């Protein structure tokens, strides 16, 4: 697969002077991490970075891929991030240096690449123009040579955030950050090159994992994926003792027994439930 190389080239050029090791803490966060979600529901994600305050002047460059595990029960096409956070404007076009996106768009928000139905999001992020000379106005990239210092020093800063719709396939789905690269500013001065960047140690980029719940099967009161005589006692329990049913089957919806589809589970559902158990 052909990858954009503008940011990678910038990383190599900017890392000529290497200071003592710095720490860049990267996190992939989501309110859905570790949760069970409904099929075709929306998952939110956010990538944040914090920079150790010693021996550096803040973040100079950051980029990463957001990829889905090949072991996921199903794949999807990841959409680019929702935009460039205000604090990261100097890392994106036109002020900063980021990859070109499709049709001349800003690749800071990531570039979806891969086969249809399984596109990952590559090279999210960008870098500041720390070479001391702005590109000409209208170039659309690196037009500012004013370096913003202290980025990431005050705590985690949002690099990018977005959403995606999970597949309907039940099971455990995992998304991770890959090819994470970060540089920090180490010197600032009124010379041709106003800053140099040092290689950074990346930590705490934990995977985002969640469980997709199996689609509801009418009559499946014990949520074993089938309708059988084993569902009779759970049905009676849900009908007569909803609290007890919720305690015993916390991942099951009692409305699986709502065979009349009137939105409630009542004695009126008994006959059609028996029909489901006996005849399918």
DSSP letter assigned to residue 135: P
Token pair 């202290």 is found at 150
Residue 171 makes CB contacts below 8 A (sequence gap 6+) with 72, 73, 211, 212
| Region 226-238 average pLDDT | 95
pTM over 0.75: yes
Number of other residues whose CB lies within 10 A of the CB of residue 109 = 24
Q: Exposed, middle or buried by CB within 10 Å (0-12, 13-18, 19+), for 192?
A: exposed
**Residue 15, pLDDT score:** 43
Dist CA 114 CA 102 (whole Å): 14
Number of other residues whose CB lies within 10 A of the CB of residue 247 = 10
pLDDT band at 18 (very low <50, low <70, confident <90, very high): very low
Dist CA 225 CA 219 (whole Å): 10
pLDDT band at 132 (very low <50, low <70, confident <90, very high): confident
The set of long-range contacts for 226-232, using a CB threshold of 8 Å and a minimum separation of 24, is 227/276, 227/277, 227/280, 228/277, 229/277, 231/277, 232/277
Q: Does residue 154 carry a pLDDT above 70? A: yes
- Whether residue 249 contacts residue 230, with contact meaning beta carbons closer than 8 Å, is answered with no
Domains of the chain as residue ranges with CATH: 6-212 (2.60.40.680), 229-279 (no CATH)
Handedness of CA 115, 26, 57, 80 (dihedral sign): positive
pLDDT above 90 coverage of the chain, percent:
69
Dist CA 54 CA 165 (whole Å): 40
Instruction: Check residue 16 and give left, alpha or beta (phi > 0: left; psi -120 to 50: alpha).
Output: alpha
Q: Does residue 276 carry a pLDDT above 80? A: yes
pLDDT tens-digit readout, 61-103: 999 999 999 999 999 999 999 999 999 999 999 999 999 999 8
Q: What is the mean pLDDT of the chain?
A: 88
**Residue 160, pLDDT score:** 98
């Amino acid at each position: 697969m052909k990858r954009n190389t503008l940011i990678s080239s910038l990383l190599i050029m900017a890392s000529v002077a290497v200071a003592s090791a710095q720490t860049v803490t990267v996190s992939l966060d989501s309110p859905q991490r570790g949760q069970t979600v409904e099929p075709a529901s929306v998952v939110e994600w956010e990538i944040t970075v914090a920079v150790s305050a010693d021996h550096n002047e803040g973040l100079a460059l950051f980029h990463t891929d957001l990829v889905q595990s090949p072991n996921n029960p199903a794949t999807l096409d990841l959409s680019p991030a929702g935009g460039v956070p205000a604090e990261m404007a100097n890392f994106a076009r036109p002020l900063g240096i980021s990859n070109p996106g499709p049709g001349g768009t800003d690749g800071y928000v990531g570039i979806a690449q891969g086969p249809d139905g399984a596109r990952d999001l590559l090279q999210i992020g960008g870098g500041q123009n720390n070479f001391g000379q702005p590109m000409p106005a209208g170039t659309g990239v690196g037009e500012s040579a004013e370096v913003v210092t202290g980025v990431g020093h005050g705590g985690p800063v949002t690099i990018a955030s977005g959403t995606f719709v999970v597949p309907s396939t039940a099971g455990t789905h995992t998304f991770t950050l890959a090819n994470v690269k970060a540089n920090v500013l180490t010197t600032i001065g009124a010379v041709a090159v106003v800053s140099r960047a040092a290689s950074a140690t990346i930590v705490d980029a934990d995977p985002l994992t969640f469980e997709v719940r199996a689609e509801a099967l009418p009559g499946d009161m014990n949520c074993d994926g089938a309708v059988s005589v084993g569902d009779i006692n759970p049905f009676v329990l849900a009908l007569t003792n909803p609290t007890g049913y919720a305690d015993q089957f916390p991942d099951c919806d009692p409305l699986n027994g709502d065979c009349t589809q009137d939105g409630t589970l009542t004695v009126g559902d008994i006959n059609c439930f028996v029909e489901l158990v006996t005849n399918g």
